[in-house]
Amino acid sequence: MNTDKRVEGFSKLTKEEKIQWLCRTYFSEETYAATYFNRYNNADAALQKRHDEFIENAVANYYLPFAVAPNFSINGKVYTVPMVIEESSVVAACSRAAKFWQSKGGFQAEVLSTEKSGQVHFFFYGEKEHLQAFLSAIKTKMLDNCKPITANMEKRGGGITSITLLDKTDELPHYYQLFATFETLDAMGANFINSCLESFSNTFRAEAAHDPNIDGNYEIVMSILSNYVPKCLAKASVSCPVELLTVGDMSGEEFAQKFVRALAVANADVYRATTHNKGIMNGIDSVILATGNDFRAIEAGAHAYAARSGKYQSLTRALVENGIFSFEIEIPLALGTVGGLTTLHPLAKTALQILENPNAETLMQIVACVGLAQNFSAVSSLITLGIQKGHMKMHLMNILTQLGATETEKQYVVDYFKNKTISHSEVEKLLADLRKDK
């Protein structure tokens, strides 16, 4: 075993050498490399190479289940939605909600806006009027110098839609922004936006060198897109007469009112709001991952949007009016269906095919519906039976696998717990008794 964990030039090692180094440093067993790294590398060398090339220092594949939630009726069309997630009950809950709403008119969805933005953040120490004049004078040049980057996007109808100087000196002395907006069509557009922004900065620097009012009076801190996309919004909704919401002994009216109160709680209390929105993101992230999109970007943007009023609140809204229950979500979703992993990752491509190759706007609508469905399922369970019953039922298989149960033992235990409360210790006890009896 290596005791010194420092390593020079790790990225230059071959994949095999990296695995050997990891095994020498962290695992004493000789067989570890074969069992835990090589086994999780694909025998198809070309496919494995594709995955290895996504990131630096790749040593194995990390599998997550790829599932589908069928029966999503969205604007009258039925979708089977691919989801990648490890949490046991998410797909089951999502599918349940999809089926439930399918029989009640399905989901309605729309894209409210598709604007993305990026900023050149800089400090300026001279006269604001000089800065304004300078930027007006170089704006055309800034756009012209971007042409090699924007030409293709413009051909398809997208590109840079505005560049504005923002005075942010009230928030931070000398802080200004070039605030640029973009239309990136079916691409998520991160590379496109960042390349444009860096080109703006380069033009700024080059032109500033000839302007004594600017030269030496500024510092460009950074040029980067924003994952806050409050103008790249999708909306999804469902509604039905309250009578259709009856669950067991709970009347539809009672269910609907309790549901609305559950959302009021999420709006009043940040502890609940965070978990409430986490449940929404269970569904959203799963589709984002399956389709090769950037779930960190979507997460960051969604939570910032949830806090847009200054208080972190629910991303969904519910209402009962004239006997009709309405439930909706409005969420920023900067998604792509071309470029990046969407084309490179074979399963992302498959996921998009299952969705019948949507454009970015259709994918935004589908994802918003999944978030709404997931939230409907979670809140419905919470205000009725609680989530643990369903969750533990799904989780039982994980417990059994963890305890090394055979197929026969699994079947016996599943049958045994059909109408009983499942807990890790109860399962453990039952298995021990079962094995003792043998």
- Residues tagged active-site: 87, 278, 294, 391
Alpha carbon distance 224, 229 (integer Å): 13
Alpha carbon distance 19, 30 (integer Å): 12
- Nearer Cβ to ligand MEV (369/379): 379
Q: Give least dist CB 76 to ligand MEV, A.
A: 28
Contact 194, 131 (CB under 8 A): no
Q: Give least dist CB 326 to ligand MEV, A.
A: 19
Q: CA-CA-CA-CA torsion for 258, 377, 332, 65, nearest 10 degrees?
A: 160
Q: Give least dist CB 87 to ligand MEV, A.
A: 6
**Nearest one of 151, 177, 145, 150 to 164, comparing CA atoms:** 177
Q: How many CB atoms lie within 10 A of CB 93?
A: 27
- Nearer Cβ to ligand MEV (120/263): 263
Q: Which residue is nearest to ligand MEV (CB)?
A: 279
- Nearer Cβ to ligand MEV (13/383): 383
CA terminus-to-terminus distance, the chain: 41
Q: Give least dist CB 255 to ligand MEV, A.
A: 16
Q: Give least dist CB 266 to ligand MEV, A.
A: 8
- Nearer Cβ to ligand MEV (82/279): 279
Q: What are phi and psi of 16, to 5 degrees?
A: -60, -45
- Nearer Cβ to ligand MEV (261/278): 278
- Nearer Cβ to ligand MEV (250/387): 387
Q: Give least dist CB 90 to ligand MEV, A.
A: 7
Contact 135, 178 (CB under 8 A): yes
Q: Give least dist CB 409 to ligand MEV, A.
A: 28
Tell which phi-psi region holds residue 339, choosing left (phi > 0), alpha (psi between -120 and 50) or beta.
left
Q: Which residues touch 364 (CB under 8 Å, ≥6 apart)?
A: 111, 232, 234, 333, 335
- Nearer Cβ to ligand MEV (190/379): 379
- Nearer Cβ to ligand MEV (266/413): 266
Q: Which residues touch 171 (CB under 8 Å, ≥6 apart)?
A: none
Q: Give least dist CB 228 to ligand MEV, A.
A: 24
Q: Cα 289–291–295 angle (5° rounding)?
A: 35
Q: Which residues touch 270 (CB under 8 Å, ≥6 apart)?
A: 311, 312
Q: Tell me, what amino acid is at 75?
A: N
Q: Which long-range contacts (CB under 8 A, 24 or more apart) does 141-147 make?
A: 141/203, 141/207, 142/199, 142/200, 142/203, 142/204, 145/199, 145/202, 145/203, 146/196, 146/199, 146/200
What's the Rg (C-alpha) of the chain? 26
CA 428 → CA 63, 285, 395, 419, 421, distances in Å?
27, 33, 14, 17, 13
CA 383 → CA 254, 347, 358, 379, 396, distances in Å?
10, 36, 35, 6, 23
Total count of residues recorded for the chain: 438
- Nearer Cβ to ligand MEV (61/384): 384
Q: Which pair of tokens denotes residue 55?
A: 């990131």
Binding site for ligand MEV (CB under 6 A): 87, 275-276, 278-279, 282, 378-379, 382, 387
Q: Give least dist CB 67 to ligand MEV, A.
A: 15
Alpha carbon distance 135, 124 (integer Å): 12
